[in-house]
Amino acid sequence: MESTPEKLEMLYEGKAKKLYATSDPDLVICYFKDDATAFNAKKRGTIEDKGAINNRMSELFFGLLENAGLKTHFVRRLNDREMLCKRLQIIPVETVVRNIVAGSMAKRLGLEEGRELSFPIVEYYYKSDPLDDPLIYPEHAILFEWATAPELETIRSLALKVNEELRRFLDGRGIILVDFKIEFGRYHGDILLGDEICPDTCRFWDKASRRKLDKDRFRRDLGDVEQAYQEMLRRVED
């Protein structure tokens, strides 16, 4: 059995996770919380067992992507709520891939939610809580040196590959991948996928009923939030 580095001081606490240093400078421990936020933390609550569900689901998705040849920060899940990860220098540009009109895209463009796109759209957002993560052009990221042009090309290519792999996997389980947010970071010269992949960061709809199985149930007060998270985990684990 592999040894686990010693857990040290907390480096960062976000809306959904805590990050801890370890005795290995290349590794961190990520702790998944039950706290739920929406609209950049303007709405707050708790989703029972969310942390454990998101930790397990992220493990499954990262494993799927690693098997497909995509490099991620995931090392291994340590327990119900903790994951050992490579320590990335996070690029402050969030990447969103959209397959169906929903959420801010519907609101921003005045489009009906649920309209299928003829090809995936990749969007970029500046990672800044005080500014509510504004939508940006790739040129902004290059101009302000948040990322280089080659890094953005790599990020776009990887994001579309993530989309392809996840859509194929979820389609076989009767789930539509509507859209998702991912983050990338630098690690010894490589660009790796980081953060998490779960109902907090993705929109999942049941293919037959289009019932929402993600954090939109919390955002929009639709009820059955815990049940939706639990159902997604069951279907991913099958």
Which CATH code fits 90-223? 3.30.470.20
Output the six-digit token pair for 201. Answer: 């960061």
Closest CA to 193 of 81, 100, 64, 62: 62
H/E stretch holding 141: helix 138-143
Question: The CATH number of 7-88 is which of 3.60.21.70, 3.30.200.20, 3.90.850.10, 3.40.50.1970?
Answer: 3.30.200.20
Q: Where in the chain is the domain with CATH 3.30.470.20?
A: 90-223
How far apart CA 189 and CA 106 sit, in angstroms, is 37
Share of the chain above pLDDT 70, in %: 99
> Which residues have a Cβ under 8 Å from the Cβ of 150 and sit 6 or more positions away?
none
How far apart CA 191 and CA 86 sit, in angstroms, is 12
Closest CA to 22 of 89, 77, 86, 91: 86
pLDDT tens by residue, 1-26: 578 999 999 999 988 999 999 999 99
Q: What is the mean pLDDT of residues 53-67?
A: 98
How far apart CA 7 and CA 22 sit, in angstroms, is 5
Provide the pLDDT for residue 159: 98
Output the six-digit token pair for 4. Answer: 């686990």
Q: In the predicted model, what is the mean pLDDT of the chain?
A: 96
Confidence of residue 238 (pLDDT cuts 50, 70, 90): confident
> Which residues have a Cβ under 8 Å from the Cβ of 219 and sit 6 or more positions away?
38, 39, 43
H/E stretch holding 171: helix 149-171
Q: How much is the pTM?
A: 0.95
Q: What is the torsion angle, in degrees rounded to the nearest 10, for the CA atoms of residue 122, residue 185, residue 162 and residue 217?
A: -70
Q: Is the pLDDT of residue 116 over 70?
A: yes
Query: Is 85:194 a contact under the CB 8 Å cutoff?
Result: yes
DSSP code at position 198: S
Provide the pLDDT for residue 1: 56
Q: Is the pLDDT of residue 101 over 80?
A: yes
> Which residues have a Cβ under 8 Å from the Cβ of 211 and sit 6 or more positions away?
205, 228
Q: Where in the chain is the domain with CATH 3.30.200.20?
A: 7-88
* Torsion-angle region of 207 (φ positive above 0: left; ψ -120 to 50: alpha; else: beta): alpha
Q: Is the pLDDT of residue 97 over 70?
A: yes
Provide the pLDDT for residue 41: 67
pLDDT tens by residue, 217-235: 999 999 999 999 999 999 9
Confidence of residue 39 (pLDDT cuts 50, 70, 90): confident
pLDDT tens by residue, 164-200: 999 999 999 999 999 999 999 999 999 999 999 999 9
Query: Is 177:121 a contact under the CB 8 Å cutoff?
Result: no
> Which residues have a Cβ under 8 Å from the Cβ of 44 and sit 6 or more positions away?
35, 36, 37
Residue 116, class by beta-carbon neighbours within 10 Å (0-12 exposed, 13-18 middle, 19+ buried)? exposed
